[in-house]
Chains A and B, each alone.
Chain A
Amino acid sequence: DAKTTQPPSMDCAEGRAANLPCNHSTISGNEYVYWYRQIHSQGPQYIIHGLKNNETNEMASLIITEDRKSSTLILPHATLRDTAVYYCIVRLGSGTALIFGKGTTLSVSS
C-alpha cells in the first residue's frame, strides 16, 4: 500500500511557483522520498528524490521537514508543460519497487 497522502488536485498560474505537499508520517529512517510525474498516458518521469536533506536539480526542489513526516516539491516557475499528475513515493531505495498512490493533478494555466 502507498505510504503517502497528497491533495487530489492543485492549480497554478504560469510563471508562478508550484508547491506540491506530501505527507508520509510513517516513513522509516532508511526510506527515501521520490517524486515522479506523469503527463497524460506517457511513462512516469523521474523528478527528484531525497533522504533527509533538501535537494535541488534542474527540474525542481525538494524540501523535507526535519522530522521527515512530510515534504514539498517546488517547481519554481511553472509552465503549461508542467501540467501532469505528480506522485510522491516512499521507497527503500535501489531494487525496491515504486508503489504509486493517488497523486496530485497539477493544472497550470496562463
Chain B
Amino acid sequence: AAGVIQSPRHLIKEKRETATLKCYPIPRHDTVYWYQQGPGQDPQFLISFYEKMQSDKGSIPDRFSAQQFSDYHSELNMSSLELGDSALYFCASSSDRGLNTEAFFGQGTRLTVV
C-alpha cells in the first residue's frame, strides 16, 4: 500500500539559509500534519491542513510557513535557519471523510543546520 512520502530524506543547510520540505500524502487523504522532533525529544506538532486550508496550529516558529496544494501535497518552508532547527521533520496524513480515522506518518526528513 502507498505510504506517506517525504523528500528529501536528508538535508544539510547553513545558518540563515532557507529550506523546503515536501510531503506527499497517501492517495485520497485530505489532511496533512507536520511535526518536529529534536534529538532525544518527542515529536512536537507544528501545523496541519485540511482541504488546503490551515486547520490547526501548534508550536510552529514564525520563521516557518507551510501550505497544502491542490493535489494535497504539502510543503514546509523554513527561513533564517538556526542551529536549533536541526531535527527530524515528520509529515502525517489522514482522511477526514470518516470518523476516528488514524493518521499515518512518513519516514521523515532529517535536517542538519551547520
Contacts and interface: CB of A to CB of B under 8 A. Distances in A.
Contacts of A43: 4, 90, 92, 105-108
A110 interface: no
Q: Is the interface of A mostly helix, strand, loop or mixed?
A: loop
Interface stretch (A17-25, A61-69, A72-80, A89-97): A89-97
Interface residues of B, number: 31
Q: Which of the four size classes fits the interface of chain A?
A: 20 to 34
B42 A87 contact: yes
A98 B42 contact: no
B90 A94 contact: no
Nearest to B94: A94
Interface centre among A43, A46, A101 (most CB of B within 10 A): A43
Interface of A: 32, 34, 38, 41-46, 49, 51, 85, 87, 93-103
8 nearest A-B pairs in the assembled complex, by CB-CB distance: A43-B105, A94-B96, A95-B96, A46-B102, A100-B42, A93-B100, A97-B45, A100-B43
